[in-house]
Amino acid sequence: MTFYVARETSKIWRRITTELTVELQHLSEKWKFILAGLIFQYIHGLAARGVHYLHRPGPLLQDIGFKILPELGKERGYISESLFSFIFFSFFLWTFHPFIFHSKRFYTVLIWCRVLAFLVVSQVLRIFTFYSTQLPGPNYHCREGSKLAVLPRPENVMEVLLINFPRGVIYGCGDLIFSSHMIFTLVFVLTYQKYGSKRIIKHMAWLVAILQSLLIVASRKHYTVDVVVAWYTVNLVVFFVDRKLQEMPDRSVSSPGVLLPVSLRDKDENHRMLNGTSLETNDRRGRSQVNGKTLDDGAHLGSEPTMNGK
């Protein structure tokens, strides 16, 4: 038993180190793109912080979702955030599963490049939208009488730049259309829909996305229009941006026992092994033997005539 555990641990460790080497190669090529995407996450948070200074509380707008869905209340508002945290961390861990499991359909660095591209385009549209018109926030801390509904004028630039993370994000107001939670949720679900391998998880992911939408409205964190706009906007963004990006190589076509072919010859050999052939077999097919001589080009020579006609 101890020998088996040690052997499997050694295999996993070799797999992780080999995968890390491959991913670092991709990271050395894509690090500027990854860094730009991460920096924009801060810019998006800064924009959400800025619109909070413009927010003015007012009466809640008429909303069909508020009439249909029962209000969860302050004490149960954590349910929506808990589900979103589950979605976020589940997707994050799934993108790193090639470091451990044999099934490797994508490279972690490359898939995060695509995810960040989807997020950035969606967030740019979101910033333009919520700065165009500020709606009175439906969340409890954004309503009239709450001290957090209106932010006092900042005393210095650093007060704005620090964005009071994470409290400033959780208790933000004014950045309503469209829902940031639904941007992340739909980008993650659409990405798994394309690169995931478990059909049952794909179906469950869509159900979870629908549940997340209902909980956001029931928690009164967004109006129904914020969720509806997110559904068709994010889907369109992913559809068009994905067509512009270069398609990722499908790693599932390689041999399960090889993490990354070191050359085209190795890759061809892996395919031949999967098909039940080998390089030696193919080499023998391309050769013929005449009078004890082997010809590499496969050409056939006629018999040499002799004096006695034999």
Q: List the catalytic residues.
A: 181, 222, 226
3-state secondary structure of 288: strand
Q: Cα-flanking dihedrals φ and ψ of residue 147, to 5°?
A: -70, -20
**55 in Cβ contact with 150 (< 8 Å):** yes
Cα 89 from Cα 105, distance rounded (Å): 20
**262 in Cβ contact with 21 (< 8 Å):** no
Q: How far is CA 297 from CA 268, 283, 284, 300, in A?
A: 20, 10, 11, 9
Supply the DSSP symbol for 246.
P
Cα 225 from Cα 228, distance rounded (Å): 5
Q: Which token pair is 14? A: 């070799």
| Tokens 């369109």 belong to residue | 236
Cα 210 from Cα 216, distance rounded (Å): 10
**How many CA atoms lie less than 13 Å away from 138 in the CB half-sphere?**
24
To 10 degrees, what angle do helices 108-132 and 180-195 make? 150
**232 Cβ neighbours under 8 A, 6+ residues apart:** none
